[in-house]
């Protein structure tokens, strides 16, 4: 049985990962500082004796005895990672050094949740892992993009210098229940807006594209990656279905039956024009590919946000209160 730590385990993806690992029989320690994560996400795991929650900020070192580290702690939505950009960079750099130090000391395997953002505004399409990216080093997104790029560098150098057993996954836009309702990401924004009869805010003309992966698919890919022996990645994990943001808005309006309208807002700086993963490597090395198509995943996500809104749970959610 594996003894596992999940950093950022109270977040959106991290909470599903903790759940899936427990189902596989692991002992799971969840480390989180609750910046964007929430106890609500893992409330149902708290009475499982194989689950332990530790409030901890990963910019500080921690001593644990584990054999696997899933390193997911980092704010992921532009609003959240730009709220305190210096802290975002510290989380990626110091947090990753601390987790690599831990991996080195206890000889654990460590998997980094990197991102498609390392490709920046990509000049090749779809993106393959050998593409070095087109990233602005001094822009508003840099704290996140460059932070993750340094995190990848650190992973590779601990591997080359100290033989730490590393794994790097580059995650493309992932969505599903437990996204924070106020995180400003496109899927949560559109669904919240549609359910409340508010205008759906398209940034720019809506012709930019993204590829949306449902969270359960992503978690399966992450776990398969951890189980590999000699494959270190980086490997893209995402759903290669590509949609314009306008198509997404129209789909959300259709599926919610909302009478909301679509309006345009200014496009944020450095917003990538298109993004789509080439997942050939994941197919070959992990025998993985996503199974949940956009419409099915959106229906589940809509049901989650609908429940939040109609049950009053939203008002009890500290993340939502912070926003009011």
Q: In whole angstroms, what is the distance from residue 99 CA to residue 94 CA?
A: 9
User: Does residue 225 interact with ligand NAD by CB under 6 A?
Assistant: no
The yes or no reply on residue 244 touching ligand UDP (CB under 6 A) is no
| DSSP secondary structure string for all residues of 29-52 | EEEE--SS--GGGGGGGTT-TTEE
> Contacting ligand NAD (CB under 6 A), which of 53, 113, 135, 219?
113
Closest CA to 75 of 117, 40, 44, 46: 117
The DSSP line for 119-165 is: GBS-SSSSB-TT---B--TTSTTHHHHHHHHHHHHHHHHHHHHH--E
Catalytic residue, candidates 70, 81, 119, 144 = 144
Instruction: Please report whether residue 119 would count as binding ligand NAD according to CB under 6 A.
Output: no
Binding residue for ligand UDP (CB under 6 A) from 89, 98, 173, 216?
173
Residue 30 makes contact with ligand NAD by CB under 6 A: no
- Of residues 151 and 186, the one with the C-beta less far from ligand UDP: 186
Q: Which of 277, 286, 291, 162 is nearest to 233 (CA)?
A: 286
Residues 227 and 205: beta-carbon distance below 8 Å: no
Residue 234 binding ligand NAD, by CB under 6 A = no
- Catalytic residue check, 83: no
* By CB under 6 A, residue 270 contacts ligand UDP: no
User: Could you say which of 19, 27, 28, 36 contacts ligand NAD (CB under 6 A)?
Assistant: 36
> 106: burial class by Cβ within 10 Å (0-12, 13-18, 19+)?
middle
Residue 243 binds ligand UDP (CB under 6 A): no
Single out the segment in contact with ligand NAD by CB under 6 A; choices: 32-40, 103-111, 258-266, 271-279: 32-40
Beta-carbon contacts of 272 under 8 Å, excluding residues fewer than 6 positions away, are 119, 120, 121, 122, 208
* Sites of contact with ligand NAD (CB under 6 A): 7-8, 10-14, 31-37, 57-59, 72-76, 80, 91, 95, 113, 115, 171, 173-174
* Sites of contact with ligand UDP (CB under 6 A): 77-78, 173, 185-186, 189, 201-203, 208, 210, 245, 268, 271
């Amino acid at each position: 049985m594996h003894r596992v730590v999940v950093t950022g385990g109270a977040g959106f993806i991290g909470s599903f990962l903790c759940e899936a690992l427990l189902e596989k029989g692991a002992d799971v320690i969840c480390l989180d500082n609750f910046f964007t994560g929430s106890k609500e996400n893992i409330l149902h795991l708290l009475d499982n004796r194989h689950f332990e929650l530790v409030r901890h900020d990963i910019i500080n070192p921690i001593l644990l005895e584990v054999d696997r580290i899933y390193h997911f702690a980092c704010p992921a939505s532009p609003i959240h990672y730009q709220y305190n950009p210096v802290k975002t960079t510290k989380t990626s750099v110091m947090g990753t050094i601390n987790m690599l130090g831990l991996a080195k000391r206890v000889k654990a395997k460590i998997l980094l949740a990197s991102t498609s953002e390392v490709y920046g505004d990509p000049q090749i399409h779809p993106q393959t892992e050998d593409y070095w990216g087109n990233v602005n080093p001094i822009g508003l997104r840099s704290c996140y993009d460059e932070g993750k790029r340094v995190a990848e560098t650190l992973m590779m150098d601990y591997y080359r210098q100290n033989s730490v057993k590393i794994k790097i996954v580059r995650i493309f836009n992932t969505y599903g229940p437990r996204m924070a309702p106020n995180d400003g990401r496109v899927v949560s924004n559109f669904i919240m807006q549609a359910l409340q009869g508010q205008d759906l805010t398209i940034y720019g003309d809506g012709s930019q594209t993204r590829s949306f992966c449902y969270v359960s698919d992503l978690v399966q890919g992450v776990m398969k990656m951890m189980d590999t022996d000699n494959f270190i990645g980086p490997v893209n994990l995402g759903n290669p279905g590509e949609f314009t943001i306008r198509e997404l808005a129209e789909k959300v309006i259709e599926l919610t039956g909302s009478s909301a309208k679509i309006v345009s807002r200014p496009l944020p700086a450095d917003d990538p024009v298109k993004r789509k993963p080439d997942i050939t490597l994941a197919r070959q090395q992990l025998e993985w590919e996503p199974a949940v198509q956009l419409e099915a995943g959106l229906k589940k996500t809509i049901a989650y946000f609908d429940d939040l809104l109609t049950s009053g749970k939203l008002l009890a959610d500290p993340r939502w209160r912070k926003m009011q």
